């Protein structure tokens, strides 16, 4: 009897100590994986953490294949979460600024929500005024992907988009790999195949702020874009079809320049875009070769990011639609222009612009796309 009491006492004590001991945080960003534990569309949603040998850390969820947090050091080794986002799945379902999301089937806009392919007209949702944006009402940012963590650095996503989904033809199978490499790269590899001719333009929509998410502005960051030309738009942000030089205009980032320096210039494309929200045509000698597309530098923290891709273009979006109403993961409302997206892609509205590089994918072909965001300090 005595031994029984003693054992019970010891067990209770152990249980008590265990429940009082502070739990080791699941990740440096302080994102609780339990807050992502939800069944959506009959599929389990969760959060996984990727790390590398230098202490960088990224959390991702399979709801929209979203990057939820990305911890990178500054020049003193101080870590900060440099992407906008939420700390729970409900907020991701409620708000739609595409924070950290995979975008598809078509990144950016398709005019009037329609296009013609092989003589057939296809009608898509008009979810941005009269136009179609980022794959429609339920784009790849709002579906549950199959997710498999391969190792500490790597997570693989798969999504099969049904024939006719959001109006697009063909059953489309998409594979994406997110990797946090020991070279401090966040690397995305895309692959897709279709069973009918279709159009496709996948991209990634992390909102970066190298000062750390929740800080005031990105207009003091220094940006370089390896593009001599861009595609001007109308007021609905649909390309006019022209490809024009950036030289001599406030669009020119071929030498590193502070983002805010010319943002209020009296220049029509900037006025129509409400700031920077443009597709830059990358200087690329051969199609499908990797180029340095852009760099971003924060002189204050020393954080430096490079973007590399084999896609022909990059959308530079300066957070013009952030309006201080959406409260992010650290309890701070995200201010106007407090993050930027650099979306490697084909040009917006290519299905309606025969002079733009084609976004058609046929059965038997494989779409591939690599995008690398590489972090360093200077």
Nearest approach, Cβ of 156 to ligand GLA (angstroms)? 25
Considering only 110, 155, 237, 342, the residue that binds ligand GLA (CB under 6 A) is: 237
Selected range binding ligand GLA among 65-73, 160-168, 314-322, 368-376, rule: CB under 6 A: 314-322
Q: Is 321 in the site for ligand GLA (CB under 6 A)?
A: yes
**Checking DSSP bridges between strand 47-51 and strand 57-61, what pairing results, if any?**
antiparallel
Cα torsion 144, 150, 155, 161 to 10°: value is -40
Active site residue 343: yes
**Near ligand GLA in 99-128, by CB under 6 A:** 108
Task: Count residues near ligand GLA (CB under 6 A).
Answer: 11
Helix (H, G, I), strand (E, B) or coil at 173: strand
Which member of 134, 343, 346, 369 is catalytic? 343
Considering only 85, 97, 100, 212, the residue that binds ligand GLA (CB under 6 A) is: 97
- Buried b / exposed e over 5-44, threshold 16 CB at 10 Å, is eeeeeeeeeeeeeeeeeeeeeebbbebeeebbebebeeee
Nearest approach, Cβ of 264 to ligand GLA (angstroms)? 19
Distance CA 115, CA 101 (A): 24
Q: Is 208 in the site for ligand GLA (CB under 6 A)?
A: no
Could you tell me the two tokens for 170? Answer: 């063909």
Q: Is 317 in the site for ligand GLA (CB under 6 A)?
A: yes
Which member of 134, 204, 205, 308 is catalytic? 205
CB 300 within 8 A of CB 71: no
Distance CA 348, CA 314 (A): 10
Mask of contacts with ligand GLA, 29-68, x by CB under 6 A?
----------------------------------------
Which residue(s) pair with 373 in the sheet? 186, 307
Q: Is 367 in the site for ligand GLA (CB under 6 A)?
A: no
Could you tell me the two tokens for 10? Answer: 């010891």
Active site residue 205: yes
Nearest approach, Cβ of 292 to ligand GLA (angstroms)? 21
- Residue closer to ligand GLA, measured from CB, 55 or 324: 324
- Residue closer to ligand GLA, measured from CB, 227 or 237: 237
Q: Is 133 in the site for ligand GLA (CB under 6 A)?
A: yes
Q: Where do we find the tokens 């159009």? A: 199
Residues in Cβ contact with 338 at an 8 Å cutoff, skipping those fewer than 6 apart: 84, 209, 214, 215, 216, 217, 218, 319, 322
Q: Which chain residues interact with ligand GLA by CB under 6 A?
A: 97-98, 108, 133, 237, 277, 315, 317, 321, 341, 343
Give catalytic residue positions: 205, 343
């Amino acid at each position: 009897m005595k031994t029984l009491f003693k054992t019970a006492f010891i067990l209770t004590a152990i249980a008590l100590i265990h429940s009082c001991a502070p739990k080791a945080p699941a990740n440096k960003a302080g994102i609780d994986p339990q807050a992502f534990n939800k069944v959506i569309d009959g599929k389990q949603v969760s959060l996984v953490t990727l790390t590398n040998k230098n202490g960088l850390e990224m959390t991702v969820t399979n709801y929209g294949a979203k990057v939820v947090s990305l911890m990178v050091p500054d020049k003193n080794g101080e870590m900060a979460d440099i992407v906008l986002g939420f700390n729970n799945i409900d907020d991701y379902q409620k708000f739609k600024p595409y924070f950290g999301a995979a975008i598809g089937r078509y990144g950016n806009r398709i005019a009037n929500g329609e296009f013609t392919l092989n003589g057939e007209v296809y009608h898509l949702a008009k979810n941005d005024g009269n136009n179609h944006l980022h794959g429609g009402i339920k784009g790849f940012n709002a579906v549950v992907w199959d997710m498999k963590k391969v190792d500490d650095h790597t997570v693989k996503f798969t999504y099969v988009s049904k024939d006719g989904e959001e109006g697009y033809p063909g059953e489309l199978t998409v594979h994406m790999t997110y990797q946090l490499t020991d070279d401090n790269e966040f690397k995305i590899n895309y692959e897709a195949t279709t069973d009918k001719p279709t159009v496709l333009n996948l991209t990634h929509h992390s909102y970066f702020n190298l000062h750390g998410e929740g800080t005031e502005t990105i207009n003091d960051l220094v940006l370089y874009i390896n593009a001599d030309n861009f595609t001007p738009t109308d007021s609905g942000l649909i390309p006019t079809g022209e490809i024009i030089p950036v030289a001599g205009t406030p669009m020119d980032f071929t030498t590193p320049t502070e983002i805010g320096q010319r943002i209020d210039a009296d220049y029509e494309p900037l006025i129509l875009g409400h700031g920077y929200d443009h597709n830059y045509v990358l200087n690329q000698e051969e199609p499908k070769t990797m180029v340095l597309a852009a760099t971003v530098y924060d002189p204050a923290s020393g954080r430096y990011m490079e973007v590399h891709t084999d896609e022909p273009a990059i959308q530079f979006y300066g957070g013009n639609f952030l309006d201080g109403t959406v409260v992010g993961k650290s309890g701070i409302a995200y201010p106007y222009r407090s993050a930027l997206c650099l979306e490697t892609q084909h040009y917006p509205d290519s299905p309606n612009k025969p002079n733009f590089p084609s976004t058609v994918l046929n059965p038997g072909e494989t779409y591939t796309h690599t995008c690398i965001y590489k972090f360093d300090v200077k």
